[in-house]
Amino acid sequence: MTDLGAVGDLWSLLELRGEALSALSLTGADPVLPSVYKVGEAAQASIAATGLAAAELHRLRTGAEQIVSVDMRHAAAEFRSERLLRVNGGEAPELWDAIAGTYRCGDGRWVRLHTNFDHHRDGVLRILGCDNDRKAVADALQDWSGADFEEEASSQGLVVALMRSREEWLAHPQADIPPILIERIGEAPAQGFGPGDRPLSGVRVLDLTRIIAGPTGGRALAAHGATVMRVASPYLPSIPVLVMETGRGKLSTHLDLESDAGRAGLERLLGDADVFIQGYRPGGIAARGFSPERAAEVRPGIVYVSLSAYGHKGPWADKRGFDSLVQTATGMNHMEAAAAGVEGPKPMPCQALDHASGYFIALGAMAGLMRRAQEGGSWHVRVALASTARWLDGLGRVPEGPICPEPSDGETASFLTEAQSGFGTLTHTSHAAILSETPARWAQPAVPLGTHPPIWP
């Protein structure tokens, strides 16, 4: 059995019913992935807390309690779900742009570039004045210090991170924000849960997110019975493999929030929603009329979830970022490299910040729904990748010794399942949280963006 401390800390942070922790069964111990960090514990704790919250909602709805079991190796596999995805039995899809990755600058410091979207790639090349070629980028960065390039790229809304040590990051004013924040933002009568055989039956969720973290949160809510509507712009880029992987259980519609018609369509959906999840750049969704306060006016009792890279306050509150960049900025890549005895940034063996943050989104949303049921009100939940990094760092390190090997295909095979989808046959990771009475499942197959009309079923 694994210590329940990490789950208990999350549970206490959200002021949830302590007695529920007795229903949790955790097995396994780190290391389960090749990392100096307790990635297995992070995966298990975040998934377990989310599963336990679903069980609590089911108890509030029906009075019935149940056991929630999470195996650490299974949880670690789910934290790598995009790597394990297969489409029609083919090879693993490529996730990275050709020039994405790490480079040494002229002052010897390292930077990581995220160029998976064309406008981010083109912006970096414009600053550097070079061709779209790894050697050309490496040569051009010799004319820059790492800090200056990070600052210039960030000032232009691009996504670049300087590799810092853990000590450098802990001295940074952005470093100390809790992993999940929840606050009341409006008044509304208490709203209980109607009849339903699943924890989130009848709960409607708007998912306005991309990439991994936000969509993982929506997928987790769908796994426990929520009706999740993925809302995408027809004009913003996406990464197809991630749409496939995180689209399980979701309806998917297109709305252009730059248009009056698109904004009106989203407001209609919001009027009948229970949860609103958004991962737009800081201030982006508010500028289009959907701030937390405005959402609470349109739909009193809404649980509004905001995802950011570095948190809602501090000098980097407006800074954009992704998991790989936050790993680099917060010292995680530096520590992994030091433990492995290699030069330059070494990534963690999974996008742990994305996945943990996704489960924190679902956990915070369910905590908000419980508060709405018990005391009323509209609620705002905040999750940030950098805050998740601080939480994971606080779990400590694996025991000293050789870094454990990569799990073999045979070790992960039992965690995989097949399902038909709008993309063909998907082989994907099953959900690691096993609820004894209401097992997780996805009622909708993954489908291409924009498949459904913007209407609740």
d(CA 375, CA 187): 10
pLDDT of residue 404: 92
The predicted-structure confidence for 239-281, as pLDDT tens digits, reads as follows 999 999 999 999 999 999 999 999 999 999 999 999 999 999 8
Model pTM greater than 0.95?
yes
**Integer-rounded Cα radius of gyration of the chain:** 21
Structure confidence at residue 365 (pLDDT): 98
352: tokens are 């742990």
Whole-angstrom Cα distance, residue 10 to residue 4?
Answer: 10
Mean pLDDT over 10-31 rounds to 96
Q: What pLDDT, on the 0 to 100 scale, is given for residue 287? A: 96
Q: Which residues contact 287 (CB under 8 A, 6 or more apart)?
A: none
How far apart (Å, rounded) are the C-alpha atoms in residues 51 and 95?
A: 28
**What pLDDT score does 195 carry?**
87
Q: What is residue 451's DSSP assignment?
A: -
Give residue-wise pLDDT tens across range 288-336: 999 999 999 999 999 999 999 999 999 999 999 999 999 999 999 999 9
Main-chain phi, psi angles of 408, to 5 degrees = -80, 165
Using alpha carbons, list the distances in angstroms from residue 388 to 5, 136, 187, 320: 16, 34, 29, 15
* Residue bearing the bigger pLDDT, 344 or 95: 344
Q: What is the mean pLDDT of residues 143-165?
A: 97
Q: In Å, how far are 39, 67, 78, 406 from 414, measured between CA atoms?
A: 20, 21, 12, 16
Grouping H, G, I as helix, E, B as strand and the rest as coil, residue 267 is helix
What average pLDDT does this structure show over 29-58? 97
Summarised one tens digit per residue, pLDDT across range 368-407 is: 999 999 999 999 999 999 999 999 999 999 987 778 999 9
pLDDT for the residue numbered 93: 76
The percent of residues in the chain predicted with pLDDT above 70, rounded, is 99
Residue 2: predicted pLDDT = 53
